[in-house]
Amino acid sequence: MPAPKPARDIATEITNTIIARLEAGVPPWVRPWSLTGEGGRPLRHEGTPYNGINCLWLWSIADMRGHRSRYWMTARQATELGGCVRRDAQPSMSIYASTFRKAGVPTLTGEASAQLIRFLRSYIVYNADEIEGLPSYYYPRDVAPTAQLLSDRQDAIDAFFAAIPAEVRHGGGEAYFSPVLDYIRLPHASSFRSADAYASTRAHETIHWSGHQSRLDRTFGKRFGDRAYSIEELCAEAGAAIICGELGLPTELRDSHASYIGHWLDVLRADKSAIFLAAAKAEQAFNYLRAFDVDVEARDPSPMKLAA
């Protein structure tokens, strides 16, 4: 009788992939951008963004395989849309959490309390680049950066940050959030190499701002390199990437990036749940910040809306 097949360790598989990307100097949250939305958040077949760990995971897979489309779907969904998965297509997985109740051990009184066990499950998805016959908006297209498109994008960026009631102090040569005094410090916008670089850095520090004890109350850590500090930085990097993806901004490497990689790798190697925690906190922070901008839906430039 053949030995039973071991259960797939999804958490370890994902963590090892992200570790490999970091070791190669290509963090999954450093994103390009184009006017077609390429580089933005991964999308389901109906245009809903993937969130949490799925966002980082599918970014990693897309980068490794050279996919340009943001869309992912099951083979059945592709068929329903009139498409056909290519025979040489490489499957990936979409992850979700599930639970089951495990009967507890009876006590001396005869009572037994059930335990709720959480675990990860997955299902197969394919990138639209490997599916033929889908409607055209599932595939990236080259769009010239017209003055109007760039102006509309800048308006959306300005509106997003203007709606957030964070105190931002400009001046000096450093970018940081002070949890004690509750303000963001940024160099003047003119000190950055581009307006996009300024906005990307502001997104990172604004994610930190969301974690203040009076808001989402995340643990910031006591010193550079400790676990809480490293996870908060992972959260800020991933959260800033989500903001940038929504706003059509490239996510850029900061000058301090190299000094963080070693600490991130130490945390991820020691704890396969760390990247899941950071991704979940990043998604929570993004949703918290996005809620300040009540007009965001009216400005949504998603490819499906552009194609409508």
Closest to 287 (Cα-Cα) out of 202, 228, 215, 214? 215
Residue-wise pLDDT for 218-235, tens only, equals 987 766 668 888 899 999
Residue-wise pLDDT for 57-107, tens only, equals 999 999 899 999 999 999 999 999 999 999 999 999 999 887 666 666 555
Residue 223 is assigned to a structural domain of this protein? yes
Sole residue written with tokens 């580089």: 39
Total-model pTM: 0.85
Residue 44 is assigned to a structural domain of this protein? yes
Closest to 235 (Cα-Cα) out of 157, 185, 177? 177
Residue 149 is assigned to a structural domain of this protein? no
Instruction: State the Cα–Cα distance between residues 280 and 287, nearest whole angstrom.
Output: 11
Give the residues across from 254 on adjacent strands.
none
Residue 151 is assigned to a structural domain of this protein? no
Residue 180 is assigned to a structural domain of this protein? yes
Sign of the Cα pseudo-torsion (178, 183, 189, 195, in order): positive
Residue 108 is assigned to a structural domain of this protein? no
Q: Spell out, as residue ranges, where the chain has pLDDT lower than 70.
A: 1-7, 32-39, 99-117, 119, 222-225, 252-259, 296-308
Sign of the Cα pseudo-torsion (188, 193, 195, 200, in order): negative
Residue 1 is assigned to a structural domain of this protein? no
Q: Give me the number of domains the chain comprises.
A: 1
Instruction: State the Cα–Cα distance between residues 66 and 73, nearest whole angstrom.
Output: 17
What's the domain range around 191? Answer: 10-103+114-142+156-307
Residue 282 is assigned to a structural domain of this protein? yes
